[in-house]
Amino acid sequence: MRVHYRGTLDDGTEFDSSQGRQPLAFQVGSGQVISGFDEAVRGLKVGESRKVRMEAKDAYGEVRPDLVLEVPIAQAPAGIKVGDKVRLGNGQPATIREVTAEVVRVDANHELAGKALTFEVELVAID
């Protein structure tokens, strides 16, 4: 199926949208999208829209403290700063949250983890 969508946080901040792009194509139930998004499109007919709010557990999950790591500053690349996006040794994306004289705190949680999401979805086509 193909859908156009707009994703917002509870404060109204838009975090993603298909506006100006091709519709998102995916197969329901295949695991290609978060479970709450999968559920949001179920039962829609072509041309229909729906607005759905989902809790973090149905989106990118809760924040997991075990995914926040401390790395000795000596092992960090020179010039690293808070907000930088990096890849861990296993290829997992992460964000630098804190840099001190001794350590770098790296967060491998998805940037939307712990947040409720609202999606406005419109079914464009069923393939």
Is 88's pLDDT higher than 90? no
The reply to whether the predicted model has a pTM over 0.95 is: no
Domains, the chain, in order of start with CATH, read: 2-61+112-125 (3.10.50.40), 65-107 (2.40.10)
pLDDT for residue 46: 96
pLDDT score recorded for residue 63: 96
Alpha-carbon span 6 to 21, nearest angstrom: 12
Residue 28 makes CB contacts below 8 A (sequence gap 6+) with 1, 38, 41, 42
- The secondary structure of 42-54 as a DSSP string is TT--TT-EEEEEE
Euclidean distance between CA atoms 48 and 43, whole angstroms: 10
User: Binning pLDDT at 50, 70 and 90, where does residue 97 land?
Assistant: very high
CA 25, CA 127: separation in Å to the nearest integer?
9
Q: Mind listing the pLDDT tens digit for each residue in 26-51?
A: 998 888 998 888 888 999 999 999 99
- Number of Cβ within 10 Å of residue 6's Cβ equals 16
Residue 116 has what pLDDT?
Answer: 97
- pLDDT tens digit sequence for 54-82: 999 999 999 999 999 999 999 988 899 99
